[in-house]
Amino acid sequence: MRTIDKIFDVEFKFGDVKIKCFDILVAIVLTTLGVMFRFSLYDIESGDYVKAFADWMKECHAAGGFAYLGIKPGVSDASTFDYNCMFQYLIVLLHYIGGNGAIADMYLVKTLSVIFDFVCAVNLARIAYHVSGRNVQKSMLAYFAVLFLPTVVLNSAAWAQNDSIYTAFILLSLLHVLKGNDFRVFLYLAISYSFKQQAIFFVPFIILMWLKNKIKIRYALVVPVFHVVSMIPSAIAGREWADLLGIYGNQVEMFTRLSMNYPSIYTIITSDLDKNVRRLIIKGGVLATVVIFGMIAYYMYNKKFEITDKFMITLVIFTAELCCFCLPVMHERYGYMPELLAVVYALYSYKRLPVCAFLQVISMITYTRYLFGSTVTYLWPLTVAMLVIILTVGYDLYKQMQIPEEANA
């Protein structure tokens, strides 16, 4: 054996995990490249940054930091902030880090999201390590994949969006579903939901696992309690409780377009409809989505089958993508969480790799339509492709439900 091979084979132990020197070196190199890749996109100014994040940073600077938390959005030009206050706390933190102008606001906002890119990568690696039977190589592959998934890189480094933040906590919540730690499941779900309302795409999975007695519901109150407690600093700063508690409700009412660039079923409907008609369709679409998940819950509850880690990963992807496909007013970024989990799904077998790849292709097209413009004029062909992917994952889910509970008895 060559000397270099002997060096590469040297193992280091971190807790119960043994990692070879070669794996560590590759991780260092690819992590560095992942950072450089993101830095190369830092000067791109997206519409969302110019119209939202840049203004929020300026407003926070003008208010002097903490006082910004107490300014009600929409009352004056002093605050146009329309996210939940958890992200506002991060805006204030960024103000104190770079408030003297030493660091450009856009770089601060993007770096915050980029940090959570790497948190997501680590969390997904932990999930892959758990479901693969402690396979270090597969967990490393999951980590590397997240570093270079096009939508992950574009979301933070080009768009200045922050979907990596709430997703990082959803991944932690899922990890503890797999480990059977119910309190942490709801704690991390609570943190995620307090950052972004899109955490609700994880809720159908939680409900279905509760129906199958894989999750105890006793800790569910952690979510609303944490959500309210997280608002206390803003309330102390002067914000009214009615305003704070109504943030997500106001977000729901903010848009009336049936599809916000996401290839959902609503792309087949003309965008020229009257606003009142669109509101009626939105209400009907939400109700139809609830009915669809009700039928899935009914079938799963009455079906006796073995619930494996692979089944749970498949179920999260299926339910989250189905939410985005069936619910109206979905943005192209809302498939972020299942797109990451599709990496773990692909690690189970090469036959599942196309699901991960095609989800990235579809999202790349929708991302670039917004960020850079695109030759793709119509979304409905992507809607057909997305439906095929959902049906493919759904069929895989169905086949896994045919394995009886006695299989491992």
Reply yes or no on whether the pLDDT at 406 is more than 80: no
When mean pLDDT is compared across 72-86, 317-331, 351-365, the lowest value belongs to 72-86
Say whether pLDDT at 9 is over 90.
no
261 backbone dihedrals φ, ψ, rounded to 5°: 80, 10
Which of 379, 390, 155, 385 has the alpha carbon at shortest distance from 261? 379
Integer CA distances (angstroms), 248 to 84, 138, 284, in order = 7, 38, 20
Residues near 313 by beta carbon (within 8 Å), at least 6 away in sequence = 127, 131, 341, 344, 345, 348
Q: Residue 77 pLDDT > 50, yes or no? A: yes
Tell me which residue of 90, 141, 142 sits closest to 341, measured CA to CA. Answer: 142
pLDDT for res 407 = 55
Distance CA 297, CA 205 (A): 10
Q: What is the mean pLDDT of residues 5-13?
A: 84
pLDDT at position 206 over 80? yes
pLDDT in tens, 257-292: 899 999 999 999 877 888 889 999 999 999 999 999
Tell me if residue 215 falls in helix, strand or coil. coil
Q: What span, in angstroms and rounded, lies between the C-alpha atoms of 45 and 34?
A: 20
User: What is the residue extent of each domain of the chain?
Assistant: 46-249, 255-409
Q: In whole angstroms, what is the distance from residue 38 CA to residue 96 CA?
A: 24
Q: Is residue 372 pLDDT above 80, yes or no?
A: yes
pLDDT of residue 403: 82
pLDDT of residue 409: 41
Task: Say yes or no to pLDDT of 63 above 50.
Answer: yes
The answer to which of 135-144, 265-274, 322-331 has the lowest mean pLDDT is 265-274
Token readout for 244 is 């704070």
Among 6-10, 43-47, 65-69, 203-207, the least confident range: 6-10
pLDDT score recorded for residue 408? 47
Residue with tokens 């057909």: 384
pLDDT-based confidence at residue 100 (cuts at 50, 70, 90)? low
Residue 401 has what pLDDT? 95
173-182 mean pLDDT: 97
Count of other CB atoms within 10 angstroms of residue 115 = 14
Portion of the chain with pLDDT greater than 70, in percent: 98
Asked if residue 58 lies in contact with residue 51, where contact means CB atoms within 8 angstroms, the answer is no
Whether residue 48 has pLDDT greater than 90: yes
Query: Do strands 11-14 and 17-20 pair parallel, antiparallel, or not at all (unpaired)?
Result: antiparallel
Mean pLDDT over all residues of the chain? 93
